[in-house]
Amino acid sequence: MDKEQVKNISATPINAPVFPMTEIKFKNREYLNIIYETDREALEEVVPEPLKVTSNRIKFEVINMPDSTGLGSYKEAGHVIPVEYNGEKGEFYLSMYVSNQAAIASGREVAAFPKKAGNPDLFVDNDTLVGTLDYNSLRVAQATMAYKYYKMTDEEALADVTAPQFMLKSVRDYDGSLLRCELTRSQITDIKLKEAYSGPARLQLFEHVMAPLADFPVRKIVDAHHILADLTLGQPSPIYDYLK
């Protein structure tokens, strides 16, 4: 393999890259989003400056992605926090627990998504939509929502899934020093809504040191959304450099 070939590989291993360099498109991406009130102080402890926490609300999401280009079929779950940056409202992605190695590697290496391994699931249990997250052998989150009770408008659904995404990109050099530390922004595009419903819901969180979702206790359920769509995942761009 010559030098140019080395520079053109998408990832290691050289003879079996863990992910391709391609635009990530999703078909039938299915969301269960639980919006709830928690302790604002807990949110402010984890949201990095210059982002600003805008309320005491947080979103727990479980997503089923049965068809994604280059990555295949997988699920993820995690916490998203409403924030503001220079007057623009968006969401800070705090944690994402993912069941697919390629999605974890590409999300961390090429983008800035805070992904780590987990075992989420999203399924219909008779009259109930159920979203769960296991970390290793232990259950850390369980969400239930009444199945397809109230139709959402397109505007309501789009507001939930297309908000600007803010993420932290932190990369260490070989000696442990910071090589890159940036706040990034990305945006979902090419969205085609297929279904969107709201309804009553419940959420249980269980304490775990390596998956600390319960650090944001459920004080009150605000809303729950079940959304199905096709979309394209936008690449993040840096908007703030912590090293300058």
The set of catalytic residues is 115
Containing H/E element for 40? helix 40-46
Residue 237 CB neighbour total at 10 angstroms: 11
- Residue 77's Cβ-count burial label (10 Å; 0-12, 13-18, 19+) is buried
C-alpha span between 232 and 227 (Å, rounded): 15
Cα torsion through 185, 91, 187, 192, rounded to 10: 170
C-alpha span between 141 and 138 (Å, rounded): 9
C-alpha span between 152 and 197 (Å, rounded): 5
> Phi and psi dihedrals of 153, rounded to 5?
-75, 160
